[in-house]
Structure 1
Amino acid sequence: MIQHRFFDDYVKAWKTGKIVLNKERILLIAYLEKNIMTRDDLYFDEQKIDDYIAYTEKFFFKTAAYQRFIVPFIFLYEEDTGEPYFDEFFITIGRGGGKNGFLSSLGGFLISDLHGVENYDISIVANSEDQARTSFDEVHKMIYDNSLDDIYYNKKSIIRNYDTNSTLRFRTSNAKTKDGGREGAIFYDEIHFFENGEIVDVFSGGLGKVSGGREFKVGTNGTLREGYYDEMLKRSMAILKGEVLDERLFPFISRLDNVKEMEKPELWSKANPMLDEDTSYARILQGKIMRDYKKLKRAPSGRLAFISKRMNLPEVDMQKSVASKDEMDATARPIPDTTYMPGVFSLDFASIRDFAAVGALFKDNNTGDYIWKTHSFALRNYLDAAKLEPPIEEWAHEGLLTILEEPSINPRHVVNWFVEMREETGINIICADNYKMEFIRPLLEAEGFEVNTIRNPRASHALLSSRVEDMFANHKIIYGENPLMRWYTWNVYVNVKKDGNREYLKKDEHRRKTDGFMALIHALYLSAEHLDIEESEFMLDELVF
């Protein structure tokens, strides 16, 4: 058994009602109590913990309770190796919660003789130089203000501690031009801007060459979905729910439990634990958040920023996005047996020189669920030139799409997919955009398919918008575990025209593909006629007497 007073103090404050915790922090406490505090092969380095607190409160700020809760686990070591048990920290809290200050004090301490590890270099990595410099500049200023030039080599681009020869520097997240070095620690700031884990993979490659390697990944929720932030959330929840037991990730997630709690200021500390403090900064922060909240009555367009940045919840702007984060998550349910369900085929492509998406839409008329099975084709030349951010190669390896080494997409790939799926499903009807169908229509008809076309696809969007909203809002659409399809869907925004009709458009014309979603829309165009029938009637049609 191990214990630490900062951990005990935090748990006691929660159990006695002095602070309120969101469900993820409650799960974290339970995880630590069950899997960490019961061990006898780990130990807290009390000296380093006390030195860090003293160092921070002398040169930076008075530590908050949530920071003191985290700190002991930064300096939790294995008895046999002397290495940190947790080598990765994910810290996400609402804006104003002191994330950058925490990184600043950690950066200054970890390169100091109080930490005592030689050549313990630290890189602060962010999407922009301004953000990467935030914590670096705070350490630079601290050294200048306290006249510590005899201890630190303190320049605008690098800080070095003379005793340990450890450095602190900032980097921008350009994975194509940076290489991992020999870092002791890497701070990833504002990870909600990372579209994937490519930059993390590059910089993390330098870890392990110096004792005590650690990664700190911090951020507040943003509007980018299916990016690296969401990936970290999924990893964290798997740990907190006990689904994964061998991870060395310490996940500190502070957010509201649901969007309705936004209306209760007494619960805002669930998202921002700095509000638990009895300090002038906490009172100023509370006032600022309250003013932002009251502005929403006059300017409701600020709701997205308030919920995502202040309350740290992944809500998306429903005037622009097809579905909320929760609704999108619900699409990942396992695909059921579609053997006896009615279905239709569809396809979409922006150009035969980039992507094409094909799919089969089924409907379970007992539950009202739609099931979407889809595949995509993408040209290698296009992928190399476009340099799309999502993990296309990984998705190809998972069988969600096929990468073609051709000058343009050979229509036989599309035709063959439908022929093979017809053998499996019995479906023979296909729907697509009339204009894009002309070059492939003869090939499909030669295979005996019934081809339906939509002459004005955008006009059909207005007809289908209510059905689409109902599918997502009531969790009636199932993609299965298909991040490619979720990416397609996130890349679409709903444009409300002056006449009130809606149309589905790309958020970015070049870098955000939507082919899979548009293929789904085409299939829905036929749903009323071909899918909305009683399952019993469908099965009777299949019987041979």
Structure 2
Amino acid sequence: MSYLEEYTRKVLSGEIVACRRIKQVCTMLLDKLVHPEKYDPWVFDEKLTEKPIDFIETFCKQAQGKMGTPIRLELFQKAKFQAIFGFVHKDTGFRQYNECLTIEGRKNGKSSESAAVNLYLLMGDGEGAPEIYNIATMLDQAKIGWEYAYKMVKQSPVLRKHIRKRISDLYFPHNMGIIKPLASNSNSLDGLNAHGVTIDELSAIKNRDIYDLMKQSMSARQQPLLFCITTNGFVRDGIFDAQYDYACAVLDGKVKDERFLPFIYELDDRKEWDKEDCWIKANPGLGSIKSISFLRDCVAKAKNDPAFKPTVMVKDFNMKENANSAWLTWDEINNQEEFDFRSLGFRYGIGGFDASETTDLTAAKALCMRPGDDKIYVKSMYWIPEEVLRKIDADGNRRERDNVPYLLWEQQGLLRTTPGNKIDKRCILEWFKALRDEDDLYILWIGYDPWHIEEALLNEFIGEFGKDSMIKIRQGVQTLSYPMKSLKGDLAAKKIVFNKNPIDMWNLSNLEIRTDINGNIQPVKGIDNRRRIDGAMALIDAYIVLQDKMDEYSNLI
């Protein structure tokens, strides 16, 4: 019985405790072993898998801890390598999988695996002049994995005889191959011909530009491999979330991609974080590679230290969170409920907006409720200066402003532009008027920060919606603290339904707070000025008005 069959059968029988996502991939892989005729032209060749496993266990040595001792792969690792290297085309013999994504808790052997795969692709894969790249956003990050591979070489008598360290790479003269660190801020990413690309900590990559370019750089190779192994992270709506969602879609059968192989080790439920028998779901090397006593200590500390808990949830159990200092947890923000605005027949709404001058977004909200339903339904719109967006498009800058996909959001109708290089704030008025005139939604009151609206425009709003329609929301502790605490509770209870709007979720995840000695809170913007909070502020303004006017609003609806 192969390692792959042994592991998948033990997972599916319950002998090895595993999460739903691992059971999904094991079900698929075992079916490929048992019913190969269904997967023509791909076949499993167990003999091919002996080479990478033997190479790693024979020549690769520990680069940290018990330095110089042989690496002994665990069953879950051997099974993964057999899946990657064992399924090949029946005619050409080339590998089926050219990309493997592994998400697992920290300290489960990720760095050793990544370095060992680097060295095997360099020396043992039968490729002429292979180019192997460790990639990251910054060169210093990329060098971490590369230096780990070099330390592994230094600890191995055989490898250090054949691999030379040069200024910017590791060089294998026998086939003229290299292992090299590479970052998105490198002078040029053109002209590369990658045979292998490894990413240790995808969650640390803040934009997908280098990932996409390196993926394309493998197109001339016959059996390239993009090997990514990572924990979850605190950056939301980036490349990690995109790859995670893609992997889930593949496992769920929503996307067909027979060249992509995901292994997602995570808790099935956030409530499992203090259940010791569930920890292995996110930590396949628990007890053999990762110390269970150390994890036990971390969980104990997290129970007594709320500031430490998000790190444990993200890095040990692969649960989504945003920044440690954020006002809201990702679980509080993440509402997957959707609705069709027009079909619900809303007649009256409460507005709110946050206007900007140039660099920030401008955001507007309409909050609506229905009789007998305590949920608050949110309709949103965002604006950005047209020159900003067109410059992104003209430059081909795929990282985009603020490291978020503004161009895509515009195409999806979630974001609009205003002419020129600064926001024309009349766009907000026109949007509320369109809700009234085209969607038959009458906006009763509109909450706004008086700091960013001119008297002339304010008078236009009053002319359209009435002299009592515009409600000033002073941006101080006395005005904001209690409503924000109430809003946080409603978000956690999934009573705020914003149609999975990614800009709303991004803005909410960016909002941080300042707390005074009396426990009062008010919003603040973090030190990273690319993390926009305008949508969150517009929601807060509208929510305050809704709470203040709830009795009158309820009578009208």
Whether the TM-score (by the shorter chain) exceeds 0.5 is: yes
| CA distance in 2: counterparts of 1:406 and 1:200, whole angstroms | 32
Q: Is this contact kept in 2: 1:183–1:213, CA < 8 A?
A: yes
Query: Kindly tell me: are residues 171 and 191 of structure 1, through their superposed partners in 2, closer, same or farther at Cα, counting changes over 3 Å?
Result: same
| CA distance in 2: counterparts of 1:399 and 1:175, whole angstroms | 34
Q: Which stretches in structure 2 are left out of the alignment for 5+ residues?
A: 61-70, 393-399
2:296 to 290, 298, 302: 290
In the TM superposition, 1:88-487 aligns within 5 A as 88-112=99-123, 114-145=124-155, 146-148=157-159, 151-174=162-185, 178-179=189-190, 181-246=192-257, 248-275=259-286, 277=288, 281-282=289-290, 285-296=291-302, 299-316=305-322, 320-336=325-341, 337-352=343-358, 354-381=360-387, 387-423=401-437, 424=439, 425-439=441-455, 440-450=457-467, 451-458=469-476, 459-487=478-506
Q: Is this contact kept in 2: 1:492–1:507, CA < 8 A?
A: yes
1:25 maps to what in 2?
22
| CA distance in 1: counterparts of 2:192 and 2:56, whole angstroms | 27
Q: Is this contact kept in 2: 1:120–1:210, CA < 8 A?
A: no
Query: Kindly tell me: are residues 187 and 527 of structure 1, through their superposed partners in 2, closer, same or farther at Cα, counting changes over 3 Å?
Result: same
1:72 to 72, 82, 86: 82
Q: Is this contact kept in 2: 1:358–1:375, CA < 8 A?
A: yes
Q: Is this contact kept in 1: 2:513–2:523, CA < 8 A?
A: yes
Q: Is this contact kept in 2: 1:347–1:522, CA < 8 A?
A: yes
SS of residue in 2 equivalent to 1:525: helix
| CA distance in 2: counterparts of 1:467 and 1:142, whole angstroms | 54
| CA distance in 1: counterparts of 2:312 and 2:411, whole angstroms | 38
Tell me, yes or no, if structure 1 residue 513 matches structure 2 residue 532.
yes
**TM-score, structure 2 length as denominator?**
0.87
Query: Kindly tell me: are residues 295 and 245 of structure 1, through their superposed partners in 2, closer, same or farther at Cα, counting changes over 3 Å?
Result: same
| CA distance in 2: counterparts of 1:523 and 1:410, whole angstroms | 21
Query: Kindly tell me: are residues 342 and 83 of structure 1, through their superposed partners in 2, closer, same or farther at Cα, counting changes over 3 Å?
Result: farther
- What residue identity is the alignment partner of 2:76? Y
* Matched residue count: 528
Q: Is this contact kept in 1: 2:122–2:172, CA < 8 A?
A: yes
Query: Kindly tell me: are residues 104 and 405 of structure 1, through their superposed partners in 2, closer, same or farther at Cα, counting changes over 3 Å?
Result: same
- What residue identity is the alignment partner of 1:56? I
Deviation track 1:420-475 (CA, whole Å, cap 9, x = no partner) reads 11111132532211222334202223434554232522332213123212221111
1:42 maps to what in 2?
42
1:87 to 65, 82, 98: 98
Query: Kindly tell me: are residues 102 and 265 of structure 1, through their superposed partners in 2, closer, same or farther at Cα, counting changes over 3 Å?
Result: same
- What residue identity is the alignment partner of 1:388? D
More moved, 525-534 vs 232-241? 525-534
Displacement of 1:95 in angstroms is 0.7
| CA distance in 2: counterparts of 1:37 and 1:134, whole angstroms | 40
Identity among equivalent pairs (%)? 23
**TM-score, structure 1 length as denominator?**
0.89
| CA distance in 1: counterparts of 2:287 and 2:347, whole angstroms | 54
Query: Kindly tell me: are residues 377 and 538 of structure 1, through their superposed partners in 2, closer, same or farther at Cα, counting changes over 3 Å?
Result: same
SS of residue in 2 equivalent to 1:427: strand
| CA distance in 2: counterparts of 1:397 and 1:315, whole angstroms | 27
SS of residue in 2 equivalent to 1:246: coil
1:495 to 514, 517, 521: 514
| CA distance in 2: counterparts of 1:104 and 1:411, whole angstroms | 53
SS of residue in 2 equivalent to 1:11: helix
More moved, 11-20 vs 411-420? 11-20
Deviation track 1:207-247 (CA, whole Å, cap 9, x = no partner) reads 11111122122211122222221112211111222222235
Displacement of 1:101 in angstroms is 0.8
CA RMSD of aligned residues (A): 2.7
Q: Is this contact kept in 1: 2:363–2:380, CA < 8 A?
A: yes
- What residue identity is the alignment partner of 2:407? E
1:14 to 11, 14, 22: 11
Q: Is this contact kept in 2: 1:94–1:271, CA < 8 A?
A: yes
SS of residue in 1 equivalent to 2:485: helix
Deviation track 1:85-134 (CA, whole Å, cap 9, x = no partner) reads 2222111111101111111111101111x310112211111234444223
Q: Is this contact kept in 2: 1:335–1:371, CA < 8 A?
A: no
Deviation track 1:351-391 (CA, whole Å, cap 9, x = no partner) reads 35542112211113422111111111112455669931111
SS of residue in 1 equivalent to 2:128: coil
